[in-house]
Structure 1
Amino acid sequence: MTLVAVAAATVLTACHRPPPPPPPAPAPSGPRAPADVVVLTDVDPTVRTDIRYATAHNFVGRPLDGYPEPLCLLTRAAAEALRRVQAAALADGHTLKVYDCYRPQRAADDMVAWAGQPGESAGAVEFHPRVPKSELFAEGYLGAPTAHSRGSTVDLTLVRLPAPTPSRYPSAAPPVPCTAPPQRRYPDDSVDMGTGFDCFDPLAATAATDISRAARANRALLRRLMTDGGFVNYDREWWHYRLADEPYPDTYFDFPVSRSAVR
């Protein structure tokens, strides 16, 4: 074989050689969620989301520590239970909308630090117009640790179908108390529940009577749907429900609210 033929054969062999394998992906840094924690919309994409603590529209007035993405993370048991609740809600002409799901311990600590800062914040006008910030923990509106950090608790509401186009938070508009009539409150697309979400006020108690008949009926519907689905309500907050048979009743997690934390 001539030198030219040898060179040609070498080139031909090189052309058919498989490419080298890609380098391994870097392992995600930081704490990771247990294997049974999922993104709710991966389990049921029909559930609407408005993850307030990943935005500035909450009582702190900024995104909370631990919320790099606006996601609802839940244990699979809670997500599957909520999927069944959603099926019942859809059959009744409504859809669920979640405001908060798993909450990292660092976010609860962020709330504690905020509550310890002197003076009222701009969020007081909307979220706790009648309860001083210094009394929010004592009155049971805030807690640390919180059941949310166990991964099977959710804050949510109902939206009537066909769902209206979600409104954007009017950051330049003056805040309105969460206890104001529905036509004056922040234009949430949910049904009237008597108060806005995260309204730290006696009117937010699930069984409060000083709200309209329609609001009482809407709260009762949400409670029936969630109770039938295996959830338990926190009686001071119409929006707060915990899976009764939660898989981690004594564990408080601190992985961030992000897809990279979910296995």
Structure 2
Amino acid sequence: MLLFILINSYLYETKSPIMTKSVFLASLSLMLLATAPTQQVSKQLPDGFAYIRDIIPHIEVDLRYCGHHNFIGKPVKGYLEPRAILSKQATEALAKVEKELNKNNMGLKIYDAYRPQSAVNHFVNWSKDPKDTLGKAEFYPTEDKGLLFKRGYIASKSGHSRGSTVDLTIIMLDSKIELDMGSPFDFLGEISGHHYKKLSQEQLKNRELLRYAMEKQGFRAYSKEWWHYTLNNEPFKDRYFDFPVQ
């Protein structure tokens, strides 16, 4: 309709054909730009990878390592944009988890997915600086920073860098509130492990719900972290990638 009005104005209400043609074309260009739908353009990824939101558009994403709310207290190298990436197989399996949860007004929230090796190296270097403890009070209050690798909370070679490991939780769709899992994401301590039972019945039930939903679609849990799952049939079992998250 707006385009029709512009054309009519050009044809019937003008006196100077040369000037009017210029004005008309400029106006038409502005109108088309204003009314064109905006889309997030996906950048080129290595073969076998996908942006999670390209396959699950409505999924919640809070990529913590892009900002300061994480256990090192600052943005992590290799995370340039908060765009969650996984192998296509892992993403498709995750879509099935999301679909099942949606039936009960629940959904998934992604904290981390593919992680560049440069980010893992950042963690390694961070661990060697005993004075850098910005995130200790919130994320590892009872743990010795120098022992985080030894205790299995951080690894110099991470499954995340193979592209089929994801950190996530369950939220309610209407409120976006996370289910109570007994400890927050990336809390490095005994309470975050699947073996830890000194939790409320609701917290235990919520962890079991996430574990059941993920395992049903071919993911396996990591014993020390309730949020950490890896696709059993991951396509890149022996490859560690280092392309940036963007």
TM-score (norm 1): 0.75
Q: Are 1:232 and 2:220 an aligned pair?
A: yes
Structure 2 regions of 5+ residues with no counterpart? 1-43
Say whether the 8 Å CA contact 2:98–2:108 is kept in structure 1: yes
Alignment partner, residue 71 of structure 2: 59
CA contact (8 A) 2:48 2:87 kept: yes
Higher mean C-alpha displacement, 111-120 vs 38-47: 111-120
Say if 2:176 is the partner of 1:191: no
- What's the secondary structure of 1:239's corresponding residue? strand
What CA distance in whole angstroms lies between the structure 2 residues aligned with 1:33 and 1:71? 12
Unpaired segments of 5 or more residues in structure 1?
1-31, 165-188, 259-263
Percent of paired sites with the same residue: 41
Asked if 1 retains the 8 angstrom alpha-carbon contact of 2:81 and 2:245, the reply is yes
**How far apart are 1:120 and its partner, in Å?**
5.1
1:144 aligned to which of 150, 156, 170 = 156
Q: Which residue of 2 aligns with 1:77?
A: 89
SS at 2:111's partner residue?
strand
TM-score by length of 2: 0.81
Q: How many equivalent pairs are there? A: 203
1:49 aligns with 2:49: no
In 1: Cα distance, 2:178 partner to 2:137 partner: 21
The CA deviation string for residues 109-167 of structure 1, in whole angstroms up to 9 with x for no partner, is 00000000023512100000111111100100000110000000000000023124xxx
- Distance in 2 (CA, whole Å) between partners of 1:143 and 1:92 is 35
1:156 is the counterpart of 2:144: no
Q: Secondary structure at the match of 2:107?
A: strand
Distance 1:192 1:206 in 2: 14
Say whether the 8 Å CA contact 2:126–2:132 is kept in structure 1: no
Q: Does 1:212 align with 2:224?
A: no
Question: What is the alpha-carbon distance in structure 2 between the residues aligned to residue 61 and residue 121 of structure 1?
Answer: 8
Per-residue CA deviations over 1:29-52 (Å, capped at 9, x if unaligned) read xxx742121100010112100000
Measure the CA separation in 2 of the matches of 1:244 and 1:163: 32
The residue that corresponds to 1:247 in the other structure is 235
Deviation at 1:93, TM superposition (A): 2.2
Within 5 A, what are the aligned runs for 1:110-189? 110-119=122-131, 121-164=133-176, 189=177
Tell me, what secondary structure is at the counterpart of 1:219? helix
Partners of 1:44 and 1:152 in 2: CA distance: 16
Determine if contact 1:120/1:133 at 8 Å carries over to the other structure.
no
